[in-house]
Amino acid sequence: MRAYHFDHVHLRAHDPDTVGKWFETMFGAQVTRGIYPPGTLYPGQMRVSMTVGGQRILVAPQHPHDPMQDAPRFPYYGTEHFGFTVDNVDAACDELRAKGADIAIGPLNRDATLRLAFVRGPEDIMIELVQKP
């Protein structure tokens, strides 16, 4: 069987720069910004690429030809959220709250070995924080 390796998560936003700034502030993301060149799907619009926890997250602008809809309210079917592991969920939530983050759920224990919380980001992006023993 062919080998598959994780490459990226792709988000879409009304304002990709705002999403990039939020991830920089909240999670220390390394963010690069650029403009889509002529001949691409989004010519002249901003593109944002972020690295968080060693993973790449791309943020695209509004689709140029198809109507856009706001994200559904959590929870929903499909790709609902992505998660980051942390050494201490409670401390991470305190730090994120101090930066203005919306801790939407938790911190709470899912079971005896897993503590978690959910952060609501811009565009209603949900990020799970996971503390494992």
Task: Please state the pTM of the whole predicted model.
Answer: 0.88
Can you give the pLDDT at residue 70?
83
Q: Which residues of 56-88 are buried (b: 16+ CB within 10 A; e: fewer)?
A: ebebbbeeeeeeeeeeeeeeeeeeebeeeebee
Can you give the pLDDT at residue 38?
92
The hierarchical CATH code for the domain 82-131 is 3.10.180.10
Domain range annotation of the chain? 8-60, 82-131
Can you give the pLDDT at residue 109?
93
Can you give the pLDDT at residue 131?
95
Architecture of domain 8-60: 2-Layer Sandwich (3.30)
CA–CA separation, 36 and 47 (whole Å): 6
Can you give the pLDDT at residue 117?
97
Query: Which segments of the chain have a pLDDT < 50?
Result: none
pLDDT in tens, 25-49: 999 999 999 999 998 888 899 999 9
